[in-house]
Amino acid sequence: MYENLRIDYQEGIAILTICREKALNALNTATMNEFYRFFCEEGPTLSNLKGVVITGAGEKAFAAGADITEFSHLDAAQGAAFARRGQELFDLIERFSKPVVAAVNGFALGGGCELAMACHLRVASERARFGQPEVNLGLLPGYGGTQRLVRYIGRGKALELLLTAEMIDAQEALRLGLVNCVVPAGEEVAKACALIEKIAAKAPIAVAKVIEAVNAYFKPGANGFAVEAAAFGTCCNTEDFREGVRAFLEKRPAQFQGR
């Protein structure tokens, strides 16, 4: 039973909606735990799952940060543990073997921006706004924001946004490479689903291995080239690879089975 997330299944796509509209969909502990439950327990068991869309209820916010009241009393050790828990969840999302697309319908601030960045792809409504305003509270992003923002937009611009706490709009996020596309307000979920449907036509094992290999580029101590080579070898041993080659030679669409 989920209380803060609404999960709708639409032709093999799980649409996760943060339902805390009055709190601008702030990510409190209960919501984070429900995300963890889905990505750790429920999602991996769904054999026909094509992918996941994450969005926020209402028109104002995707997720306007974490719930400040939950960490205003923390000491150093408790704060570090609090941040590690969030990092663990967002790493779980980033490593999920099916595509996860953020459909950003409004404010994606603080933890909300970090959640969007943990997704594999980001579709932004023209009303979307992004930012990491933690320095206004005497803090810094704790759920991976200082690391992922640099990946997407580079060190200089990431430092500017992190240090000034300024927000950027959807078009600027697109220009910087933070989002994949911008759509009219209200069309972000449909576009996210369309992206997942497009990916679902590809070989499932290959898709999962692409995610694994790309993640290895950013993993400390990992040899991304070695991960890529091993993944390539794994794919060579699949029925999908043989089907893909046959379909290419026969000039027809491939019928992948995920084997």
Instruction: Kindly state the tokens that stand for 223.
Output: 């040899």
Q: Measure the N-to-C terminal CA separation of the chain; round to a whole number of Å.
A: 32
Task: Kindly tell me if the per-residue pLDDT of 73 is higher than 90.
Answer: no
Catalytic status, residue 134: yes
pTM of the model: 0.95
Given 11, 34, 94, 114, which residue is catalytic?
Answer: 114
Give the pLDDT of residue 47: 87
Catalytic status, residue 114: yes
Contact 21, 51 (CB under 8 A): no
Give the pLDDT of residue 233: 97
Give the pLDDT of residue 34: 97
- For 10-49, how does the pLDDT look when each residue is reduced to its tens digit (9 = 90+)? 999 999 999 999 999 999 999 999 999 999 999 999 989 9
Q: Is 164 helix (H, G, I), strand (E, B) or coil?
A: helix
Contact 103, 120 (CB under 8 A): no
Task: Kindly tell me if the per-residue pLDDT of 68 is higher than 90.
Answer: no
- The residues pairing with 51 across neighbouring beta strands, listed in sequence order, are 13
Give the pLDDT of residue 80: 95
- Spatial strand order in the sheet of 107-109: 61-64, 107-109, 129-131, 168-169
Phi, psi of 57 (to 5 degrees): -70, 150
Given 21, 88, 126, 134, which residue is catalytic?
Answer: 134
Of 1, 88, 5, give the one whose Cα is nearest residue 40.
88
